[in-house]
């Protein structure tokens, strides 16, 4: 399952649930009436494959297109072959910029494909792993050359397990291995670990541009990803109200590791409601690498929930065209990676942030987490949980309770 659910991404604050519910239903009705007769295009972009493996294992972006088409038909109550949905799976390997240029040429050289994109009223771009930066860069180019027009089209990017801020720092030795075997497309992934690299800057600028044009983006992480940490797959340092974030966690793992899974869920809710998580997701990324699911990096794109979530985001969220994104510089190369000893300080900052603690939709989450933390007794064999129990001790006092009580006292009595 994906946590938090899309229903939890609505703005926190004083907005009444009934008003928001009616507003969302109006949007749903409008979307159904519109898109059953208007063309929809899905562009799929698969991820990275080591050079030595490519002759034996072929990736196919058709999977993404098929899954997204299923999600669209489900949301619109359409039959298996109903709706004007065109799939454009883009297959092929190479460096990020090479793939972008190759795919752009493929689209431009095919008149039918170009026409389908131009005529589409709704466009989804689905990418996985290395296909995430490729997707953002390609979408920017499609807008630049006039094949995509954000003023006349609805556009959403569904980005899964992306390499937006590089692989896990513990894999840094892999950069030298890939260079030694002349695998440039794999070695360059480590350039994303720092925002000062030319490739990171190019990707950042493309993302800033498409967000300002009105593109909506969902970044998904896989809880058991051994290679891409949370902060990378969630593009943690990019902030914009058109961005939503989620993580895939298997149901049985959620029950087994409920406190940690709920902590991540609440932190993502904070981010999805456009508040700061005080860097806690980044600091938890190293500890939680490969911890919260039963499968790994590539399993996420087999699930149906990410695609359904993307459809909801496109059609149930406000448009923020013309709004600039905010970006925070980073460097996750060793030894500059964030130290886990900062977690208590980050948690303390979060618990004393009045804007978050008294937000109407977050109060119950913090109260529930506090109770869970007090009764949480991780197994001594679960070293990750034992360490986090110690690091998160600021959660063991009642710091934010004073803010919640003050908030309650200021509310009108019914």
Answer whether residue 245 shows pLDDT above 90: yes
Q: Whose CA is closest to 360, among 8, 11, 12?
A: 12
Of 266, 275, 245, nearest in space to 367 by CA:
266
Least confident of 105-109, 135-139, 175-179: 175-179
In three-state secondary structure terms, 359 is coil
- Domain coordinates of the chain in residue numbers? 2-250+293-327, 340-410
What pLDDT score does 323 carry?
95
Mean pLDDT, residues 316-338: 84
Which of 2-16, 299-313, 351-365 is the least confident region?
2-16
Q: Give the rounded percent of residues in the chain with a pLDDT score beyond 90.
A: 48
Least trusted range by pLDDT, from 76-80, 139-143, 203-207, 407-411: 407-411
Instruction: Give 55-66 as a DSSP string.
Output: TT----THHHHH
Rounded CA-CA distance 298/294 in Å is 12
| pLDDT higher than threshold 80 for residue 212 | yes
For 2-250+293-327, which CATH class? Answer: alpha beta
The answer, yes or no, to whether residue 403 has pLDDT greater than 50, is: no
Interatomic CA distance for residues 171 and 339, integer angstroms: 17
Residue 311 pLDDT greater than 90, yes or no = yes
The 8 Å CB, 24+ separation contacts for 250-258 are: 250/1, 250/223, 250/293, 250/294, 250/295, 251/1, 252/294, 253/223, 253/292, 253/293, 253/294, 254/1, 254/3, 257/291, 257/292, 257/385, 258/372
Enter the pTM of the model: 0.88
Q: Which of 104-118, 295-309, 375-389 has the highest mean pLDDT?
A: 104-118
Question: Does residue 392 have a pLDDT over 90?
Answer: no
47/248 Cα distance (integer angstroms): 18
Summarize pLDDT for 153-172 with one digit per residue, the tens. Answer: 999 999 999 999 998 776 65
For range 181-188, the mean pLDDT: 76
What residues contact residue 174 under an 8 Å CB cut-off, 6+ apart? 167, 186, 190
């Amino acid at each position: 399952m994906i946590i938090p659910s899309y229903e939890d991404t609505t703005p926190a604050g004083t907005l009444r649930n009934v008003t928001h519910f009616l507003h969302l239903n109006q949007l749903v009705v409008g979307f159904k009436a519109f898109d059953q007769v208007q063309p929809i295009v899905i562009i799929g972009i698969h991820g990275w494959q080591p050079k030595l493996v490519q002759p034996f294992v072929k990736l196919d972006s058709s999977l993404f297109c098929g899954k997204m088409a299923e999600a669209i038909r489900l949301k619109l109550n359409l039959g298996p072959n109903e709706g004007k949905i065109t799939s454009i799976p883009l297959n092929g390997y190479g460096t990020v910029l090479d793939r972008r240029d190759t795919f752009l040429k493929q689209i431009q050289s095919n008149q039918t494909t170009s026409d389908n994109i131009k005529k589409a009223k709704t466009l989804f771009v689905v990418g996985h792993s290395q296909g995430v930066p490729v997707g953002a860069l390609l979408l920017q180019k499609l807008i630049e050359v006039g094949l995509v027009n954000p003023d006349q089209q609805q556009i959403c990017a569904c980005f899964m397990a992306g390499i937006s801020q590089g692989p896990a720092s513990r894999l840094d030795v892999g950069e030298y291995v890939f260079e030694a075997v002349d695998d440039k497309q794999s070695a360059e992934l480590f350039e994303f670990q720092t925002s000062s690299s030319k490739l990171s800057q190019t990707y950042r600028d493309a993302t800033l541009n498409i967000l300002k044009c009105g593109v909506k983006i969902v970044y998904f992480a896989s809880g058991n990803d051994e290679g891409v940490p949370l902060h990378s797959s969630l593009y943690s340092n990019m902030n914009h109200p058109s961005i939503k974030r989620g993580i895939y966690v298997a149901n049985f793992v959620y029950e087994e590791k409920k406190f940690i899974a709920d902590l991540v869920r609440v932190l993502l809710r904070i981010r999805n409601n456009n508040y700061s998580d005080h860097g806690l997701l980044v600091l938890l990324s190293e500890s939680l690498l490969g911890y919260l699911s039963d499968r790994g990096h590539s399993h996420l794109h087999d699930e149906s929930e990410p695609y359904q979530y993307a459809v909801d985001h496109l059609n149930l969220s406000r448009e923020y065209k013309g709004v600039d994104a905010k970006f925070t510089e980073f460097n996750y190369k060793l030894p500059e990676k964030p130290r886990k000893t900062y977690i208590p300080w980050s948690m303390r900052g979060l618990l004393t942030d009045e804007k978050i603690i008294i937000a109407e939709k977050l109060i119950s989450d913090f109260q529930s987490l506090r109770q869970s933390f007090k009764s949480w007794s991780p197994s001594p064999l679960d070293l990750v949980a034992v360490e986090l129990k110690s690091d998160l001790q600021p959660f063991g006092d009642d710091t934010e309770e004073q803010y919640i009580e003050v908030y309650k006292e200021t509310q009108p009595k019914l």
